[in-house]
Amino acid sequence: MLVFQAAGVVPKMSQEAVQVQTVICLVESGMGVALVPSVAAETAPKRVVFRKLRKMPVGISIGLAVACASTQETSTTQRFFAVAEALADGVTA
């Protein structure tokens, strides 16, 4: 959330989960998109697409990736990716 907070953006969240694998399962089932540690891509289902964010704000010490179900990549998902990446690009590490 630091990426969004740094840019003054408040995303609408419909589900929250603590476990990364649970978050990925929600994404895979079409519940939306998520910011997850990039290492999660190594064991994620093939139906989930990961996109690496290029820059992260100071204070983020792990890599993050945006994930969405490959069959659910809608215009809303594409806009989310664009906003997340633009926010990450606007903050220097």
pLDDT at 47: 86
pLDDT at 77 over 70: yes
pLDDT at 92: 43
Name the pLDDT band for 83 (thresholds 50, 70, 90): confident
Listed in sequence order, the residues at least 6 apart from 93 whose beta carbon sits closer than 8 Å to its beta carbon are: 55, 56, 57, 58, 60
pLDDT at 56: 62
Percent of the chain with pLDDT over 70: 73
Task: State the residue for tokens 């690009």.
Answer: 89
Secondary structure string (H, E, C) spanning 15-71 = CCCCCHHHHHHHHHCCCCEEEEEHHHHHCCCCCEEEEECCCCCCCCCCCEEEEEEHH
List, for residues 8-66, the tens digit of each pLDDT value: 777 777 787 888 889 899 888 888 888 888 888 888 888 888 887 766 666 655 555 66
